[in-house]
Every structure is written in C-alpha cells, then in structure tokens.
Structure 1
Amino acid sequence: MKSLRTRLLITFAGLILAGFTTLAIMAGGQISSGTVEDFTTQLTEQASLVARALREPVEHAREGETSQATLLAALQTYASQGNVQVTLYDRNGRFLLNNSGDTSGPTGTAEVTAARSGQISTDTRSNIVYAAAPITEDDELIGVVQLAAPLSEVQSLVSERWLTLGLGVLGVTTVATIAALWLSNTLVRPLGNLQQAANQVAEGNFSQRLPENRQDEIGQLSRAFNHMAAQVEAMIEEQRTFASNASHELRTPLTTIRLRSEALRDNLVDDATAQQYIVEIDDEVKRLGNLVQDLIMVSRLDAGQLEVGHEQIEPTRFARQLIQQLATQANTSQITMTLDAPAELPIIEASLSHLQIVFRNLLDNALKYTPTGGTIEWQITAVNNKLHHIIRDNGQGIAAADLPHLFERFYRADKSHSRTIAGVGLGLSLVRLIVEFYGGEIWIESEGVGMGTAVHIN
C-alpha cells in the first residue's frame, strides 16, 4: 500500500504535469499557427514590396528598353535579400523568368490567378508558401510577381519554441514537484507524529502529547488529540483509583467477617463476645451489600443503562416519610430534624428508589457529621414549576480545599474519622450522577470547618 506522502506527491505532481502539459499543447498549437501566419504575412508584405520595385523594370522590358539579363539581375537581388525564390509572370499569367534564370515553369497556380485580379494572394503546397502580388502601372496590370519560401525555416523556429515550452514545463513541473514534496511532508509529518502518539497511548503511555503551535486544521487536530489523551488519562486514573478503593473497601469488611467467623467456628470466644461478633458480621454484610448496590448503580449510570422512573411522587409527603424513617437515628444523637415545605408542591415524576438514594444519602451524611444536639433542616421551595431543595446542618462543616472534590468517588473529606464513620465515599458521587441523570444540578456550600453545610439541589 502506497503511503499518504507518496500518493499526495504523485497526485500533486501528476495534476501539475497534466495541467502544464495541456497548457503547453494549447500554447504550442497557437504558437505554431501564429508563426506560420506571421511567416505568410511577412512573405505577402515582401511580395507587395517586390511588385512595386519591379514596376519600372517590367515596364521597360515590355517596351524593349531593358534586357532580360537586367531583369534577371533584379530578380536575383530581391531573391537574395529575402531568401526566397522570385518568379515573374506576364499579365496573362504566363511564366516569364525566375531568379534561377529559368524561362519556363508552372502556370495557372491559384495565387497567381488571384493576383491577376488585383489581389495579393497566398497558397501553401508541398511545405512551400507562395505569395503573389500584381504589378501595375497606372492601375493597369502589367505582370505578376510570385515569391516562394520553404516552410522548413518556420518549422525550425516552431521546433525551437516547442523545445522552449517543453523545457519550461519540465522546469515548472520540477519546481512544483519539489513544492508538492515539501507540502506533502508538511501535511504528513504531523500525521505521523499523531500516529506515533496514538500508538503510545494505545500502549498505555497516557501522558503523550502533541505540540499545539500550529493554527490550522492540523493544530486543531493536535489540540483535539491532546484533549482526548488528557480525558483518557484522567478516566484511566479515575478507574485505577476506583478499582483500588473498591477493592480496599471490599477487603476491610471481608477481613472482619473472616476473622470473626473463624473465631466463632473455633469456639475461641465466650457467649457475650460471640453475640457481639454476630452483630458485627451482620453489620459488615449490610455494609458489603450497600457497597455492592452502590457500585452496581454507579456502573449502570456510567454505562447509560439506568431507566428513567415515571412514578408520581408528592415532594412534601416523600420528605416527611423519609425524615420519619430516620427519626430513631436522629433521636439517638439528640439531633433535631425539621421540614420546611408547603403542602402543595409540583408532583415529581421519577423513580421512588432513585429519590430515596439521593436524599437518604444526603440526610445520612448530615446525621453522621452533625454533633449531638445539632439541627438538620430540609427546605423545599418551588420556582417556575421547579423544585429547589436545601438540606442544611450545623455540623462540622467542610474545609474549602475539600469542596471541589466532594463528588469524586471514594473521596472522604474527614479522613481522620474515615474508619469510625460508616461509608465508603461513593454516596455523593452516586447522588450527583442520579441528579444529573434527571436533568438537575447539585452543589454544596460551607463556610468552613465548624460552620455547618448546605446542600442545594435543583
């Protein structure tokens, strides 16, 4: 398979050669016909001049005042000056004399016949151009002079001009081919760099980048490639982190379950400790189940396989029921949970389970990070038939450095309590995916550590 560089070079050079060859052929044809026309015109003008010059000698010869030798000398002079053959005819078109001294020759030629009628005429026969002009005295025809010149001189000139054209075409084609080679290299070299960079990315070198100094389409392609490579690099890094964190989060409860079950199996603990181990195993199984469910949900959202729900949900009733479900947990920590929402709000068309995942995660987080005696408020308002939720607490708040990362998978803002507070860092990431899946938006505000947190959802 021919390379792109070779195909471009052949195409450019072929088009240029074909174009200039066509132009050269057309120009050469014009030059050839123009040269012959110029030659014929010059011969015609020369015949007219010779006719005027022979007027007096011919008239004297008719009157017997000039000898044939004198007339021959005149013909020879004009023949040598014009490098032509000069033939003299009488008024009736009969051959009289030529510059070679011949006194007999062809008669009745077309150009001589035409000249007898008072016209300067030309004809071409056997690669010889003939021009005949009338010789007149007081508007009376007294003879005809014929000039003959071979076309070989014209053909030689035409050949020279064809050669010049050919050399010109060859020169232009050579220069154009060099330019085409430079252009093809200019076009193909960045593509080669792109191919090498793509191969590097395919081999796992996601840091590969292309220069972006060009402002043309190739520069745009380079910038698009770099953007793609950066996105792929970020995605791969996110997947690696995701896999690492997921395996770590799975390993921890599995280790606890294994150790506790081994202790129970081997009767290494008393009855009270055994009951405690059973509770811990049950908690870890629930934790594993929740983690697996979250991972499945994230995977389905990433793959675009989640189906939109069409259940009719009353926002105020939904919020009240969810707060009631968490009442026991809130009362245990002496946390006050309140709902500020009008009785009549626009109906939500969505999946009830999806909404429960979103707001259960947000309320769980608020309960985890709000100290004993704190408050959590859920406010719902409607503007232009759209709902705006705010879940606000007076808990430990969030550092400014953590705010941009809260929706990243497995990110834990409070790393000092990451083991003591339940959760794996998937909740907010899952919440954002579901909210955006339904065309909404979510953001979190906090004045800083110890200043509480407010989560907004439109």
Structure 2
Amino acid sequence: MRRRIILLAAAAALLATSLFGIPLAVAVANYFTQDERTELERTADAAALSIADDVLAHRSLPEFPGSEEDTTGLYAPAGALLTGGGPASADPVVVQARDGQVASGEAGSELVVAVPILQDGQLSGIVRTSAPLADGYQKIAISWLAMAGLAAAAIVLTCLLAARLAARIARPLEKLSAAAGQLGDGDFSVRAPASGIGEIDRLGGALDQAAARIADALHRQRALAADASHQLRTPLAGLRLQLESALDPPGQNLAAAVEAAISTTDRLETTIDDVVTLANRPPEDRGVIEPEALLRDVVAGWRDLLTSQGRQLVVSPEADGRPRAAEAAVRQIIGVLLDNAVIHGEGTVMITTRDSADAFAIDVADEGHGTGDGQDLFIRGHSGAGSTGIGLALARELAEAEGGRLWLSRPAPTTFTLILPRAHAGHRSVR
C-alpha cells in the first residue's frame, strides 16, 4: 500500500510539473530568442545612426568595431558588402530589408537582423547584424536545466511527503488488519487502536462493534446450549416416569399414561423449538406478544401435571397492554417459574398479568414459602432439593436479554414477578 501511495504521488507530481513546465520551457525559449533579436536590432540601429551621414554624403566608410558576440556589416542596396563583417553578398534576411522594413531570421548557424537606411523614402544601404545561434541555445539550455532541477526536487520532495503520509495511513491500517486477523482467529476481545484519522477510526469502530456482536452472539449460543440440558431434563425425566409408571403394575390401562406421555412430548418439542429460536435470533428481534394466547399455550402442558398432584393452575389476565419481547424467551421464563412451583411450591399456582406503569408484569405465585433472601435463588449452582440451580438463573438472563427483570417479589406466599417492556402503537405483533 505504501508503495502504491508513493507511486501515485510521484505520478501526480510528474504530471503537474509537466503540464506547467513544458509550456513554461517553450515560453522561456521564445523569450531568449526574442531578447536576442531585440539586442541585435538595437545594435544594428546604433550602427545605422552612426554611419548614416557618411552613407548619404558618399564619403569613405569606417570599419564597424567587431565583438565576440555579434558581427555588423553595411550592404549596398544592390546587396554587396561595403564594410564590416558578414557574407560578401546579401543573404535572404538582407534581401527582405530592401522593402524598407526591419527584417530578422536565421541564416545558417546565425541569427540575423537587417535594418535599412532610408533617405526620402529611398534605400541608401542596409546594416546587417548577426550572432551565433549557439549563444541563445546555451542560455535556453541553462534555463531548461534549472527548471528540470527544480521539477526533480519538487518530485523528490513530493515522494518524501507521500512516504511519510503513506506510513501514517498504513500503520493504523496494518494494525487494523492484524486486529481483523485476531478476530478471524476467534479472539473477540480484540479492539482496533485509535489512529487519529477519522475514516480509519470509524472503520475500527465498526470492527469493534462487529467483534462485540459476534462475542455476544457466541456467548448467548454457548449459554443457551449449556442451559438446554437443564430445560430438557425436566420434561425428559417426567416422560421417563410416566412410561415407567405405565409398566407398573402390569396389565393396567395404558391410555392415560400414553396421553400424558404425548403431552410431555409436545412440551419437550416446544422447548427444543424455543431453545433453537433463542440461539439463532438477533438480540434486537422482538415483537409484540398476545399474552392470553401465549399463556393458553404454556399452561396447557402444566395443568395436567399439577392436577395429577391434586393442585390447581389458575390464570388471571388483568392487563390491558401487551409486552414487547421474544415469545420463545417469555415462554421459557414462565416454564421455569412453573417448573419451580411444581417442584418447590405448594397448593394452587396462579399466573396473573397486570399493567405496571409503562411496563407489562407477569406474576407467578403458589401457596408455598420461599427460602433465602430471594437473590440466592438466581445464582447458578444455588439449589434446593432436587434442583440443579440453573433454571431461575437462566430465566433471569433471558428476562434481562429482553430488556426486562425477574425477581422474587414476595417470599410468602412465593411470588415471582416478570417485568417486560410494554408495546406501543406501531410495534409489530409476533402472532
């Protein structure tokens, strides 16, 4: 990446200097050429003024002083060299000056300027001044070399700045790439370091959010997979007891036992579906629950079990609102509370729904007496007789994942209260 940034900067600098430098180089060459012509014309004018009187009076002509830079000569209108330096006969530039206008051009390896001497509109002579083209080319070459040096320095400086900028950009990207690699290797605690570059920091923030989401999803799936054994253990144990009781004593009517086993199997199937749903759904995937329909489905599998113990299950819907949560999670929470009431509770089990300020409350109560301070019940591993100490802890985790709360609201008679967010107008229903 660094190499590409440097090459791109060098190419951009080269293009910019070319677009600016080439026209400038042409302008510099034209400037020196025109300056040389102007200087030769000035020399020719001065020579013409100094010799004009002698030419017009037909007196003897003096020699023009020569120099290393230019050569000056006087030509007759017919084209013959009268005095000074230059070719013996008129060249094309001198011929052009016969029209009475200053002429300039190249003759061989020289730059030539011819100035006519006029009297009453009549041509009396022509002053020719010339200088080697190499002198002008040398000045142009020196200027071009200086411009090329400045352009090269600008390109080198641009590359150095680009290298520094590339390093500043590449370092955080390399660290970000390393963090992404660690994330791909399963390290979800990795976080992208701040770079001070807004775009890269936003990309790092997105990577951090992705890592947190993946870690949370993986944690939930592992937790639900671990807790699934607890959620399935109770209905499986009940099914086993029902099947064993159907065999003892032999010869009894198996219809009731088979019906009970089928009911337990249905509850087991629902539990499996709920666990799979909770493991795969996004955390924010919540809908509006119809509480009466949900409770009707939940209590159907528990009423027969309580009846077989000589106990009753009563549902008292008093709420006008509806909760907003995942139906599978609420079903499992109520199932855990009913299972707790069956194993540890006494007497009638009552489920009550009610409105609680801006929330929806579900109370699950029995006529037993709770033990402990109410908080120990939700600690994994804390158990009463015949309990693994996982169910209530799992139920609280599910409630908090839905934005709610679960606690022991009253120890005697034992009452657990589940608080869920209340649905407002516009929320979709899950049924």
Q: Answer whether TM exceeds 0.5 for this pair.
A: yes
- Look up the SS of the partner of 2:186 in the other structure: coil
Aligned-partner Cα distance in 2 for 1:300–1:421: 24
In structure 2, how many angstroms separate the alpha carbons of the residues matched to 1:202 and 1:418?
Answer: 44
- 3-state SS of paired residue (1:207): coil
| Number of equivalent positions | 390
Pick closer, same or farther for the CA change 1:364–1:228 going to 2, 3 Å: closer
**Cα gap change, 1:283 to 1:167, in 2 (>3 Å):** farther
Q: Is 1:365 the equivalent of 2:337?
A: yes
| Inter-partner Cα distance in structure 1 for 2:92 and 2:372 | 114
Which residue, 353, 368, 383 being the options, matches 1:378? 353
* SS of the residue 1:51 aligns to: helix
Measure, in 1, the Cα distance between the counterparts of 2:150 and 2:391.
79
Task: Report the CA distance shift for 1:90/1:419 in structure 2 as closer, same or farther (over 3 A).
Answer: farther
Cα distance between partner residues in 2 of 1:35 and 1:165: 15
SS at match of 2:117: strand
- 1:49 aligned partner: 46
Asked if 1:88 is matched to 2:70, the reply is: no
Q: CA shift at 1:31, angstroms?
A: 1.6
8 Å CA contact retained: 1:212, 1:223: no
Whether the 8 Å CA contact 2:382–2:388 is kept in 1: the answer is no
Secondary structure of 1:117's match? coil
| Alignment-mate amino acid for residue 362 of structure 1 | I
1:97 aligns with 2:83: yes
Q: Residues 453 and 398 of structure 1: is their aligned pair in 2 closer, same or farther, counting only changes over 3 Å?
A: farther
Q: Distance in 1 between matches of 2:315 and 2:28?
A: 101
Task: Tell me the residue number matched to 1:58.
Answer: 55
Look up the SS of the partner of 2:126 in the other structure.
Answer: strand
Q: Say which is worse superposed, 208-217 or 365-374, in terms of deviation.
A: 365-374
Separation (CA, whole Å) in 1 of partners of 2:71 and 2:230: 112
Q: Which amino acid aligns with 2:108?
A: S
Matches of 1:372 and 1:421, distance apart in 2: 23
1:443 aligns with 2:421: no
Structure 1 gap segments, 5+ residues each: 265-270, 273-281, 306-312, 347-353, 382-387, 434-440
Do the aligned partners of residues 121 and 333 (structure 1) sit closer, same or farther apart at CA in structure 2, a change above 3 Å counting? Answer: same
Do the aligned partners of 1:135 and 1:141 also contact (CA within 8 Å) in 2?
Answer: yes
Which residue of structure 2 aligns with residue 32 of structure 1? 29
The RMSD of aligned alpha carbons is 5.1
Q: In the alignment, which residue of structure 2 is the partner of 1:226? A: 208
Q: Is this contact kept in 2: 1:190–1:218, CA < 8 A?
A: yes
* Residues 21, 235 of structure 1: alpha-carbon distance in 2 compared, 3 angstrom cutoff: same
- Contact 1:398–1:447 (Cα < 8 Å) also in 2: no
1:344-390 Cα deviation digits (max 9, x unpaired)? x99xxxxxxx9798558537626846875785423589xxxxxx964
The answer to whether the 8 A contact 1:111-1:130 is kept is: yes
Using the size of structure 1 for normalisation, the TM-score is 0.65
Cα distance in 1 for partners of 2:145, 2:125 equals 43
Q: What is residue 19 of structure 1 aligned with on the other side? A: 16
Q: What are structure 2's unaligned runs of at least 5 residues?
A: 250-258, 283-288, 424-431
Aligned to 1:455: 419
What amino acid does structure 1 have at the position aligned with 2:136? V
Aligned AA (1:230): A
CA distance in 2, matches of 1:286, 1:164: 97
Pairing partner for 1:121 from 81, 88, 103? 103
Q: Provide the residue aligned with 2:252 in structure 1.
A: none
TM-superposed deviation, 1:339: 2.9
